[in-house]
Amino acid sequence: MRKLKLQVQMSVDGYISGPKGELDWTVWNWDSGLEAYVNALTDSSNTILLGRNMTDGFVNYWTDVVNNQPKSREFPFAKKMIDTPKVVFTKTMEESIWANTTLAKGDLTEEVNQIKNQDGGDIIVYGGAGFVSSLIKAGLIDEYHLFINPTAIGNGMMIFGDLEEKQNLTLVKSQAFDCGIVVLCYQPKVS
């Protein structure tokens, strides 16, 4: 079975964005070690899951890099983001305007488990907050890659706030990077 891996930027105090989705607190001057970590994580995955609310910004940003910034340092990663098949979970969209994108409109757990049972590499999920919270609550995440930024923002959007019961995790690895981000990798604890 394919693993569902979450990669998410997080503040020291547990927020993944400001109250209105602000990301101005995140560190983006990544060092080569963190870039290599992200590339290894995405290279092991051949499907991206996104919630509807995050999709516009995600796809539009990477499409702009591919179409207008071929000399950008981000270009190879942007190309990967555009070329990788994406599944957008939505109740409102009827069709996708983005390349390599399909829509999932059914039951979250059934849809994700169906994707996990397909042949292929692992699956990576980037967000948004409500969608990721639903995946966590349903126990569907197999690996958490939490990119802890050296900033506390005081309030905002969380991904662990809707849990109805405790979820125990096992630390698989942790790694500090020169840019100040610490990546914590956890897996659900098997009882």
pLDDT at position 60 = 86
Half-sphere exposure in the Cβ direction for 66 (13 Å, CA): 15
pLDDT at position 41 = 94
Residue 70 token pair: 């071929």
pLDDT at position 56 = 81
Residue 90 token pair: 């939505």
Block mean pLDDT (10 aa), the chain, length 191: 96 95 91 94 94 85 89 88 93 87 95 96 92 95 97 96 91 97 96 69
pLDDT at position 57 = 82
Centroid of chain to Cα 66: 20
16, 148, 168 from 7: Cα distances, Å: 11, 11, 18
Q: Which residues, including other chains, have CB under 8 Å from residue 56's CB and lie 6 or more apart?
A: none
Query: What domains are defined for the chain?
Result: 4-166 (3.40.430.10)
C-alpha to C-alpha distance for 122 and 6, rounded to whole angstroms: 11
C-alpha to C-alpha distance for 51 and 130, rounded to whole angstroms: 8
Q: Which residues, including other chains, have CB under 8 Å from residue 135's CB and lie 6 or more apart?
A: 4, 6, 49, 108, 112, 125, 141
Q: Do residues 11 and 149 touch, judged by C-beta distance below 8 A?
A: yes
Q: Which residues, including other chains, have CB under 8 Å from residue 40's CB and lie 6 or more apart?
A: none
pLDDT at position 72 = 87
Indicate if the alpha-carbon torsion angle 155, 177, 50, 22 is positive or negative. positive
pLDDT at position 54 = 83
pLDDT at position 42 = 93
